[in-house]
């Protein structure tokens, strides 16, 4: 999910929010201020409930942040890159850019999140006990009790053995340790995630029909999100399995035909597109340095009457938006970067030298060959 607002960095990890976090924040704050708190502690000023709801909502999101930060920090300590943390409609996500090297690291990265939530839950509940004993206002005690409960609920929910939940990752690590087959372990954990997602959809729908309202719908959406995320994890695991050990140089098209960036679109079509079979052309300046990447799809979008006047360089994807790969880099590491401006293509550079292009077709072709070698395509 996309980050709408970058909040800053904590312990070197970028933290941002998606606008959808406001929806859940409002639901929680209003639910507490207008529901739970007035029921448990009646006859107080409305402003007291509002302040209590707001404080509880903020502290809840700080708890979520602590949970995600722990994933990020342990991941980094175990040699897995972290792109950042985003808080959104269904809590938080820590975006890891790689995978653990062994089942132990996989387990530690997943397990630390629920462990932090349990610890926070215990701390809040103890604080609530102390606050109550010290005679603090009962509404303050309610806020802290709720924070204790919600953190433990968060931990328990995340421990359900269904990827992409933390419990699913723990299941993956355990299966991986037992069988030594990471791909098979990830696929099993992801399938469990899909089943659990369906369970949530059915359960959430039942709750909605029985009259508990929005909470039920939220669970339906959560189930739908889990199913999609689990499916993506399964595909990624299968793909990663087929691509393990493959380097960029193994799939790239080498020696691409380059074109100067200062010719017109018309000249480009005549001299390059019509005379070559390629669909992607790196553009170079007069010194031969790459300045961008242009695809046929972009060229076709230019109306015929503008072709004689428009410079091809103005049509290209600029270099800072093009994914650059090294020939010896694992292909798996390049894949997440390929979804970008020049229709998923990336340039392969050996130092200052342009040596190849990788397109989604190159990757697909390699995947299909790998599947053929494994013995037949799998039925979806």
Nearer to Zn ion, 170 or 312 (CB): 170
115 C-beta neighbours (distance < 10 Å), count? 17
166 binds Zn ion (CB under 5 A): yes
Taking the complex as a whole, the smallest distance from the CB of residue 150 to Zn ion amounts, in Å, to 15
Taking the complex as a whole, the smallest distance from the CB of residue 18 to Zn ion amounts, in Å, to 17
68 catalytic? Reply is yes
Residue whose Cβ sits closest to Zn ion = 113
Taking the complex as a whole, the smallest distance from the CB of residue 160 to Zn ion amounts, in Å, to 11
Nearer to Zn ion, 142 or 166 (CB): 166
Dihedral sign for Cα 204, 18, 62, 157, please: positive
Binding residue count for Zn ion, defined by CB under 5 A: 2
Token couple for 88: 């959104």
282 binds Zn ion (CB under 5 A): no
Span from 33-41, 112-120, 168-176, 369-377 in contact with Zn ion (CB under 5 A): 112-120
Nearer to Zn ion, 166 or 362 (CB): 166
- The label of the residue with tokens 């699913």 reads 168
Contact flags string 241-280 toward Zn ion, x per CB under 5 A: ----------------------------------------
Q: How many whole angstroms separate alpha carbon 239 and alpha carbon 237?
A: 5
The correct pick among 38, 113, 167, 197 for binding Zn ion (CB under 5 A) is 113
1 DSSP assignment: -
Taking the complex as a whole, the smallest distance from the CB of residue 201 to Zn ion amounts, in Å, to 21
- The label of the residue with tokens 């691509």 reads 243
DSSP three-state, residue 380: coil
Span from 106-114, 174-182, 196-204, 309-317 in contact with Zn ion (CB under 5 A): 106-114
Span from 108-116, 171-179, 250-258, 312-320 in contact with Zn ion (CB under 5 A): 108-116
Nearer to Zn ion, 166 or 332 (CB): 166
Dihedral sign for Cα 127, 132, 134, 139, please: positive
Nearer to Zn ion, 167 or 292 (CB): 167
Contact 311, 262 (CB under 8 A): yes
HSE-CB of 335 using CA atoms within 13 angstroms: 23
**Catalytic-role residue among 68, 142, 233, 332:** 68
Token couple for 265: 């679109």
Span from 18-26, 160-168, 191-199, 312-320 in contact with Zn ion (CB under 5 A): 160-168
Taking the complex as a whole, the smallest distance from the CB of residue 295 to Zn ion amounts, in Å, to 39
Dihedral sign for Cα 107, 110, 116, 117, please: negative
106 binds Zn ion (CB under 5 A): no
Residue 312: Cβ-neighbour burial (10 angstroms; 0-12, 13-18, 19+): buried
Nearer to Zn ion, 228 or 279 (CB): 228
Taking the complex as a whole, the smallest distance from the CB of residue 184 to Zn ion amounts, in Å, to 23
Q: How many whole angstroms separate alpha carbon 51 and alpha carbon 275?
A: 70
164 binds Zn ion (CB under 5 A): no
Burial 230-243, CB ≥16 within 10 A → b, else e? beebbebbbbbbbb
For the chain, first and last CA: distance in Å? 26
Backbone angles phi, psi at 313, to 5 degrees: -60, -30
Residues that bind Zn ion (CB under 5 A): 113, 166
Positions marked catalytic: 68
């Amino acid at each position: 999910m996309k980050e709408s607002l970058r909040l800053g960095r904590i312990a070197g990890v970028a933290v941002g929010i998606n606008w959808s976090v406001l929806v859940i924040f409002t639901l929680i704050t209003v639910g507490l201020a207008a529901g739970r708190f007035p029921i448990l502690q009646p006859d107080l000023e409305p402003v007291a409930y509002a302040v209590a709801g707001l404080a509880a909502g903020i502290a809840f999101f700080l708890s979520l942040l602590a949970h995600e930060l722990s994933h990020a920090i342990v991941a980094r300590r175990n040699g897995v890159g972290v792109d950042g943390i985003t808080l959104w409609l269904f809590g938080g996500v820590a975006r890891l850019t790689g995978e653990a090297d062994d089942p132990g690291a996989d387990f530690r990265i997943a397990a630390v999140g629920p462990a932090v939530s349990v610890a926070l839950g215990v701390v809040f509940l103890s604080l609530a006990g102390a606050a109550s004993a010290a005679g603090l206002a009962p509404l303050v005690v309610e806020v802290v009790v709720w924070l204790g409960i919600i953190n433990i609920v968060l931990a328990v929910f995340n421990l359900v053995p269904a990827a992409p939940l933390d419990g699913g990752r723990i299941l993956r690590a355990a299966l991986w340790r037992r069988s030594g087959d990471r791909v098979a372990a990830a696929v099993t954990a992801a399938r469990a995630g899909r089943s659990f997602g369906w369970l949530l959809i059915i359960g959430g729908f039942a709750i909605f029909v029985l009259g508990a309202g929005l909470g039920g719908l939220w669970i339906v959406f959560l189930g739908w999100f889990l199913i999609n995320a689990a499916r993506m994890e399964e595909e990624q695991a299968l793909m990663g399995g087929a691509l393990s050990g493959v380097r960029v140089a193994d799939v790239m098209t080498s020696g691409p035909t380059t074109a100067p960036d200062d010719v017109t679109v018309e000249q480009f079509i005549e001299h390059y597109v019509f005379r070559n079979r390629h669909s992607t052309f790196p553009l170079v300046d007069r010194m031969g340095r790459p300045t961008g990447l242009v695809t046929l799809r972009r060229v076709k979008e230019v109306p015929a009457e503008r072709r004689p006047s428009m410079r091809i360089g103005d049509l290209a994807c600029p270099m800072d938006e093009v994914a650059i790969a090294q020939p010896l880099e694992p292909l798996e590491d390049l894949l997440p970067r390929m979804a970008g401006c020049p229709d998923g293509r990336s340039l392969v550079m050996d130092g200052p030298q342009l040596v190849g292009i990788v397109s989604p077709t190159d990757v697909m072709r390699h995947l299909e060959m790998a599947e053929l070698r494994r013995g037949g395509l799998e039925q979806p």
